[in-house]
Amino acid sequence: MATFLQIILRSLETGSIYALAALGIIIIYRTSNTTNFAQGAVAMFNTFVVTYLFNRFGFPLWLAVMGGIMSAIVTGFLIDVLILRHTKKVSPVAKQIITLGLIMIVVGMAPIFFGVDPLRLPRLIDSGDLNFFGASISYNGLFNISLGLAIMLLLFYVLQRTKWGLAVRTTASNEYVARLMGVPTKTVTMAAWGIAGILGVIAGVMTAPMTSVTLNLMDEVQITALVACVLGGFQTFHGPVIGAYIMGIARNLLLFYVSSVWGGQILYILILIFIVFRPYGLIGKKVIKKV
Partner 1 sequence: MKETTTYFKKHPWIGFVIFGIVLAMVPQMAAWGLFKQGYITTIGGTLIYAIAALGLNILLGYSGLISLGTAGFMGLATYISAYLTMDLKLPFEVAMILAILIPTLVGILVGLVSLKIEGLYLAIATLAVSEVLRKTFEELDQFTNGFSGKSASYPLLLGRFQLDKTSTYYLIVVVLVIIMIIVSNLMNGKLGRALNAMRGSEAAAQAMGVNLLTHRLIAFALATMFASVAGVLYVHFIKFSYPSSWILKLSLDFLAMIVIGGLRSIYGTVLGAFIVFALPDLFLKQIPYFENLSYVLNGLLIILVIIFYPNGLISIGHDIKRLFAKLKRGGKTNELET
Residues that bind partner 1 (CB under 8 A): 35, 37, 83, 86-87, 90-94, 96-98, 100-109, 111-112, 219-220, 223, 226-227, 229-230, 261-262, 264-265, 268-269, 271-273, 275-276, 279-280, 289, 291
Measured from the CB of residue 280, what is the shortest distance to partner 1 in angstroms? Answer: 7
What's the number of CA atoms in the CB half-sphere (13 Å) around residue 270?
13
Measured from the CB of residue 200, what is the shortest distance to partner 1 in angstroms? Answer: 17
Measured from the CB of residue 29, what is the shortest distance to partner 1 in angstroms? Answer: 9
Report whether 31 contacts 171 (CB < 8 A): yes
Count CB neighbours of 132 within 10 A: 10
Select 101 or 122, whichever has its Cβ closest to partner 1.
Answer: 101
Compute CA distances 30 → 1, 173, 178, 287, whole Å: 41, 8, 13, 14
Report whether 125 contacts 140 (CB < 8 A): yes
Select 163 or 286, whichever has its Cβ closest to partner 1.
Answer: 286
Select 101 or 118, whichever has its Cβ closest to partner 1.
Answer: 101
Nearest to 186 by CA among 173, 175, 197, 195: 175
Q: Decide: helix, strand or coil at residue 31.
A: helix
Name the CA radius of gyration of the chain, rounded.
19
Dist CA 26 CA 152 (whole Å): 13
Select 1 or 291, whichever has its Cβ closest to partner 1.
Answer: 291
Dist CA 84 CA 95 (whole Å): 8
Select 96 or 236, whichever has its Cβ closest to partner 1.
Answer: 96
Count CB neighbours of 56 within 10 A: 11
Measured from the CB of residue 262, what is the shortest distance to partner 1 in angstroms? Answer: 7
Measured from the CB of residue 93, what is the shortest distance to partner 1 in angstroms? Answer: 5
Select 217 or 227, whichever has its Cβ closest to partner 1.
Answer: 227
Count CB neighbours of 54 within 10 A: 24
Measured from the CB of residue 1, what is the shortest distance to partner 1 in angstroms? Answer: 31
